[in-house]
A and B are shown apart, each in its own frame.
Chain A
Amino acid sequence: DAKTTQPTSMDCAEGRAANLPCNHSTISGNEYVYWYRQIHSQGPQYIIHGLKNNETNEMASLIITEDRKSSTLILPHATLRDTAVYYCIVRVAEGAQKLVFGQGTRLTINP
């Protein structure tokens, strides 16, 4: 599986867009980009995933660069409840059993 690199921590003001970067320069053609988050003391939460097109759902948007070597998760209007650790994971679609969660980015939303 391709390795991902994320900043250890980030801060964002409440109400602003939070942009979380992820580098995956060794991604292969059949690997998807997945994003999860984990709020303190809770189980992880699936956010979004994509292959090469930008994706949007009710929680966030995922922007993948044309060369697919990096991506950005966008929370359009961050709230205090978005404070969490965000995990970027790269994996082929088949075989979620080997979805590997790294260290992630600790995002703090400030009032």
Chain B
Amino acid sequence: IAGITQAPTSQILAAGRRMTLRCTQDMRHNAMYWYRQDLGLGLRLIHYSNTAGTTGKGEVPDGYSVSRANTDDFPLTLASAVPSQTSVYFCASSDSRDRPRFFGPGTRLTVL
């Protein structure tokens, strides 16, 4: 693989279910990010990680959790999905803390 991969590509989920969105990068970037994109609201940062073992909250962290056990993977978990979490989710990575450099293809999540 080259760059960032996300899985699944899309998912329909019942409210209340637990869901983990996967993100993997092979560029050995230290910084990784999760954004959600909703019509009319642009991209909003959910969580970020500046390096393996550390994470931080972004603009809209409620209802989401992340972990960064290693450099390559940065999964995003919805513990109990709600319809307002219906969105397109983008993972990003960077070799610099000043900007997300590469974005994944996105995961389209629908919570019913």
| Stretch of A7-15, A37-45, A53-61, A66-74 lying at the B interface | A37-45
Is the pair A43, B106 in contact by a Cβ cutoff of 8 Å?
yes
- Are B105 and A97 in touch, CB under 8 angstroms? no
Q: Specify which of A34, A98, A102 is in contact with B45 (CB 8 Å cutoff).
A: A98
CB-CB under 8 A for A46 and B90, given A97-B58, A98-B59, A104-B42: no
Chain A residues whose C-beta falls within 8 Å of the C-beta of B45 in the assembled complex: 97-100
A93 at the interface (CB under 8 A from B): yes
Nearest-neighbour CB distance to chain A for B68, whole angstroms, equals 13
* Number of chain A residues whose Cβ lies closer than 8 Å to a Cβ of chain B: 22
Instruction: Give a binary string over B31-62; 1 marks a CB under 8 Å from any A CB, 0 the rest.
Output: 10101000010111100101000001011000
Cβ of B99 < 8 Å from any Cβ of A? yes
* Closest beta carbon of chain B to A21's beta carbon, Å: 18
CA distance A43 to B108 in the complex (A): 12
Most buried by A among B44, B96, B97, B104: B97
Contacts of A103 in B (CB 8 A): 40, 42
Contact B43–A96 (Cβ < 8 Å): no
- Is the pair A43, B99 in contact by a Cβ cutoff of 8 Å? no
User: Closest approach, in angstroms, between the C-beta of A88 and any C-beta of chain B?
Assistant: 12
A:16-36 near B, CB below 8 Å: 32, 34
Closest chain B CB from A24 CB (angstroms)? 16
Asked whether B25 is an interface residue with its Cβ less than 8 Å from the other chain, the reply is no
What is the CB-to-nearest-CB distance from B77 to chain A, in angstroms, rounded to a whole number?
Answer: 19
Judge whether A100 and B101 touch: CB under 8 Å: no
Q: State the CA gap A49–B94 with chains docked (Å).
A: 14
Q: What residues of A have a CB within 8 angstroms of the CB of B106 in the complex?
A: 41-43
Cβ of A28 to closest chain B Cβ, rounded Å: 15
* Interfacial chain B residues near A100, Cβ < 8 Å: 42, 44-45, 59
A-side contacts of B97, CB under 8 Å? 94-96
Q: Given A97-B48, A100-B59, A104-B42, are A43 and B90 neighbors across the interface (CB < 8 Å)? A: yes
Report which A residues bind B (CB closer than 8 A): 32, 34, 41-46, 49, 87, 93-104
